[in-house]
């Protein structure tokens, strides 16, 4: 039976030479098929240095074109020596080398990230840009068995669920680029032995000894303590990640159809149908919530088990009108029969405005509506009720409507004169509140106005007195609204 791409190579003995172990990993996991251009992330540390040398040794066998890529994070005065070592190694192996320097501290402050998170984002952004520049579809990084064990422990301490405990994926996609980790089942000690036996130089990052960083405390304090209980704890944690990865993959495969039955929409707003949701097994309920957040926001950054569980409980037990905020600008709203997961709309991304020519059409994609405008013939006008407005269309005085109309969202201070209220005005915000339009949906309610900004119609809801038909109307205009299919 052919192993799935996410299977582990299953090597536990550690007796084979490192190039043989990596060859087996590449073939068993199908990380490489042969003939690829590969960008190798090279920090100058032992792991990535070994990876560069091993892939260079295997490059002819796999017909690889290798590039090295080094990012100077600008965090240490001696970081330039790391870059020089990687450049010299690349020249010695005949590999094309790419490097760049960034200000990680400034980026972390601007994005409100830890230095570790900021460095990781900048590093992968750099590697993917190099891959794009050289036409590579594969990036290789030097994560080891020790990195995997540390990651699993760190996520366990933070309360991650099964998905988080799968640790570092052996292969993952970033757009059209595959990121591979050929050393993920190799202990760091074996890597250092390999380098030492061959006299290959590498650089030690002294920040790895900074125990104020959680990963370093796990590496230097917690894991050595756990080895007193199980000397092979690092392999045990890596095996746990492999097993859970298979379990999560199976759950995704078997549950995808049932999850798809309860969620609709996205991006921006995703709906969870409550009735079928409550009948799902708990594990699939959590998966449905995760999928809804992923669709609404586009990612799951900073959303952990506790947030997913809180949203799940809101679906099951919350009362209509209650809501929950999740990290990253996502809110979960409990409506009477449905739950809406909505991503906040930044001011700079608020819905724009669309011009509706007369006659003509406008597709207001952000509002999910298509509007068309046409003039009515005189005989049609005679049969039209004065001031008529239905849910899907409105009849206006053509001469008072102007040359063209505008479709946009509600704005602060908007007021209109609802038809039938004899000229009295009302704020659009108050009207939408009275109509029980959920706050998070109000920015997406389309409003039809004249070029001067006078409101003619809260589309699909209420007409305005402006441009209504009167006994003196001689020309009329029909505006029809059609909902776009998701």
Find all residues with CB under 8 Å of 123, minimum gap 6, and list them: 41, 71, 73
Specify whether 73 is located in the same domain as 143: yes
Per-residue confidence band for 4, with pLDDT thresholds at 50, 70 and 90 = very low
Q: What is the pLDDT of residue 15?
A: 59
pLDDT in tens, 160-203: 888 889 999 999 999 999 999 999 999 999 999 999 999 999 99
CA distance 128 to 428: 46
In a domain, 4, yes or no: no
Residue 325 to residue 304: CA distance in whole angstroms: 13
Q: Does residue 5 lie within any of the structural domains? A: no
Q: Are 339 and 361 within one domain? A: no
Tell me how far apart the alpha carbons of residues 421 and 424 are, in angstroms, rounded to a whole number.
Answer: 6
Residues 6+ apart with CB under 8 A from 15: none
On whether both 131 and 73 belong to a single domain, the answer is: yes
Provide the pLDDT confidence category of residue 345 given band limits of 50, 70 and 90.
low
Average pLDDT of the residues in 346-373: 79
- What is the percent of the chain with per-residue pLDDT over 90, rounded to a whole number? 58
Q: The domain spanning residue 313 has which CATH number? A: 3.30.465.60
Choose the final residue of a domain: 200, 219, 235: 235
Please choose, from the candidates 366, 451, 447, the residue with its C-alpha nearest in 3D space to the C-alpha of residue 414. Answer: 447
Same domain, 293 and 394: no
pLDDT of 472 reads: 79
CA–CA gap between residue 432 and residue 170 (Å, rounded): 50
Tokens read off for 132: 């794009």
What is the total count of domains within the chain? 3
Quick one: 201 and 269 in the same domain?
Answer: no
Q: Please give the average per-residue pLDDT across 380-407, as a whole number.
A: 71
Query: What mean pLDDT do residues 48-62 have?
Result: 97
What SS3 state is found at 69?
strand
- For residue range 82-119, list pLDDT tens digits in order: 999 999 999 999 999 999 999 999 999 998 888 888 99
Domain endpoint, select from 309, 343, 377 = 343
pLDDT digits (tens, 9 = 90+) for 213-256: 889 999 999 999 999 999 999 999 999 999 999 999 999 999 99
pTM score, two decimals?
0.70
Domain membership of residue 252 (yes or no) is no
Give the confidence band of 43 by pLDDT, cuts at 50, 70, 90. Answer: very high
Q: Is residue 253 part of a domain?
A: no
Query: Given this model, what pLDDT does residue 298 score?
Result: 85
| Bridge partners (DSSP) listed for residue 438 | none
In this predicted structure, what is the pLDDT of residue 3?
A: 37
pLDDT of residue 300: 86
> If you average pLDDT over residues 148-156, what whole number do you get?
96
267 pLDDT above the threshold of 60: yes
Report residue 139's pLDDT band, with 50, 70 and 90 as the boundaries. Answer: very high
Q: Are residues 358 and 327 in the same domain?
A: no
* pLDDT surpasses 90 at 35: yes
Question: Which of 218, 235, 252 is the C-terminal boundary of a domain?
Answer: 235
Of 41, 42, 118, give the one whose Cα is nearest residue 75: 118
Q: Please indicate, yes or no, whether residues 337 and 362 belong to a single structural domain of this protein.
A: no
Range of the domain at 313: 261-343
CB 369 within 8 A of CB 483: yes
Report the pLDDT averaged over residues 384-393.
Answer: 55
CA-closest candidate to residue 47, choices 209, 201, 191? 191
Is 249 a member of any domain? no
Q: In the chain, what's the furthest Cα-to-Cα distance?
A: 99
Q: What whole-number distance in Å separates Cα of residue 43 and Cα of residue 82?
A: 7
Q: In terms of domains, do 178 and 279 share one?
A: no
Cα 59 to Cα 23: distance, rounded to the nearest angstrom: 11
68 and 144 share a domain? yes
280: in domain:
yes
Could you give the C-alpha distances from 269 to 292, 339, 435, in angstroms and in order? Answer: 9, 10, 20
Q: Helix, strand or coil for residue 339?
A: strand
- Whether 240 maps to a domain, the answer reads no
Residue 278: pLDDT band with limits 50, 70, 90: very high
Q: List the one residue out of 56, 63, 52 whose CA is nearest residue 85.
A: 52
DSSP state of 52: H
Residue 399 has pLDDT above 70, yes or no: yes
Residue 393 near residue 478 (C-beta atoms within 8 A)? yes
Q: pLDDT at residue 292 above 80? A: yes
194 and 147: one domain?
yes
Residue 450 lies in a domain: yes
Residues 279 and 415 in one domain: no
How many Å apart are CA 149 and CA 129, to the nearest integer?
29
Helix or strand (DSSP H, E) at 90: helix 79-93
Sign of CA dihedral 70, 72, 76, 77: positive
Q: Do 339 and 294 fall within a single domain?
A: yes
């Amino acid at each position: 039976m052919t192993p799935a791409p996410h299977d582990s190579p299953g090597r536990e003995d550690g007796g084979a030479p490192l190039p043989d172990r990596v060859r087996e990993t590449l073939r068993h996991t199908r990380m490489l098929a042969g003939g690829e251009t590969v960008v190798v992330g090279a920090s100058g540390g032992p792991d990535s240095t070994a990876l560069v040398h091993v892939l260079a040794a295997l490059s002819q066998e796999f017909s690889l074109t290798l590039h090295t890529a080094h990012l100077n994070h600008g965090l240490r005065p001696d970081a330039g020596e790391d870059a020089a070592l990687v450049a010299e190694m690349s020249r010695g192996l005949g590999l094309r080398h790419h490097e760049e320097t960034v200000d990680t501290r400034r980026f972390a402050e601007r994005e409100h990230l830890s230095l570790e998170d900021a460095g990781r984002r900048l590093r992968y952004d750099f590697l993917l840009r190099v891959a794009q520049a050289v036409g590579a579809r594969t990036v290789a990084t030097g994560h080891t068995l020790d990195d995997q064990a540390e990651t699993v422990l760190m996520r366990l301490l933070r309360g991650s669920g099964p998905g988080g405990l799968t640790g570092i994926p052996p292969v993952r996609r970033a757009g059209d680029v595959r990121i591979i980790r050929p050393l993920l089942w190799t202990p760091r000690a074996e890597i250092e032995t390999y380098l030492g036996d061959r006299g290959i130089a590498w650089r030690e990052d002294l920040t790895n000894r900074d125990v104020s960083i959680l990963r370093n405390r796990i590496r230097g304090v917690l894991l050595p303590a756990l080895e007193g209980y199980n000397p092979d704890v690092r392999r045990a944690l890596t095996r746990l990640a492999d097993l859970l990865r298979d379990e999560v993959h199976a759950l995704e495969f078997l549950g995808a159809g049932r999850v798809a039955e309860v969620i609709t929409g996205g991006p921006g707003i995703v709906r969870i149908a409550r009735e079928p949701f409550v009948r799902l097994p708990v594990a699939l309920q959590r998966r449905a919530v995760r999928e809804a957040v992923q669709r609404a926001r586009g990612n799951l950054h900073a959303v952990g088990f506790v947030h997913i569980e809180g949203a799940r409980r809101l679906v099951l037990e919350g009362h209509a009108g209650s809501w929950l905020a999740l990290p990253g600008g996502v809110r979960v709203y409990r409506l009477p029969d449905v739950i809406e997961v909505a991503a906040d709309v930044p001011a700079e991304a608020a819905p724009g405005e669309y011009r509706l020519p007369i006659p003509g059409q406008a597709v207001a994609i952000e509002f999910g509506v298509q509007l068309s405008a046409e003039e009515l013939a005189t005989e049609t006008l005679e049969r039209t009720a004065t001031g008529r407005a239905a849910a899907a269309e409105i009849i206006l005085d053509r001469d008072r409507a102007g040359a063209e109309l505008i479709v946009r969202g509600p704005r602060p201070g908007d007021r209109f004169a609802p038809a039938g209220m004899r000229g009295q005005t009302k704020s659009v915000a108050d009207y939408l509140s009275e109509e029980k339009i959920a706050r998070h949906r109000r920015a997406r309610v389309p409003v039809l106005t004249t070029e001067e900004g006078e409101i003619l119609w809260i589309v699909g809801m209420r007409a305005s007195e402006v441009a209504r038909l009167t006994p003196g109307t001689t020309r009329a205009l029909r505006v029809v609204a059609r909902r776009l299919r998701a």
